[in-house]
Amino acid sequence: MSAMADEKSKDRLIEVTLDDKSIGRSTPDVEHERAVAIFDLVEENSFQPTGEHKGPFRLKLSVVETRLVFDISSEDGKQIAVHILSLTPFRRIVKDYYLICESYYEAIKSSSPGQIEAIDMGRRGLHNEGSQTLQDRLNGKVEMDLDTARRLFTLVCVLHWRG
């Protein structure tokens, strides 16, 4: 492995936790989505806070009042940055995303493959919109690729709707 590839591999998250106080009771589908998103996120991601910070990084996500909190620390637990974002830009997207997810899970039980595919395309479109909004809101604060933003958006959804 080259020194450049080794350095790049450090621009990543090695741990993601969700604040217990921020999480309400969720459906099994939401719990599954959360577990998969965290697992996938830790397995493969590109995450680099702005500045001279060296990774890898730990991330704690929480909701405080009407704000989304990204608490970023180094591998050894030293706090690097806390970014606080308004949830307002996410409200409509998350609400629509949850509605289409409910439709998707219902469709899986009884709809035709074509109907399921159409709903899933809408679901992916909203997910991409939320991911792009997250990247835009963190622009200049954290660099990440689209896949990382998608997995983080899933976690934002879990935190945003607290049962």
pLDDT, tens digit (0-9, with 9 covering 90-100), for 45-56 = 999 999 888 899
- What does residue 20 show for φ and ψ, rounded to 5 degrees? -60, -35
**pLDDT less than 70: residues of the chain:** 1-8, 24-26, 30, 160-163
- Residue 149, pLDDT score: 95
Judged by DSSP in three states, 72 sits in strand
Judged by DSSP in three states, 80 sits in strand
- Residue 5, pLDDT score: 43
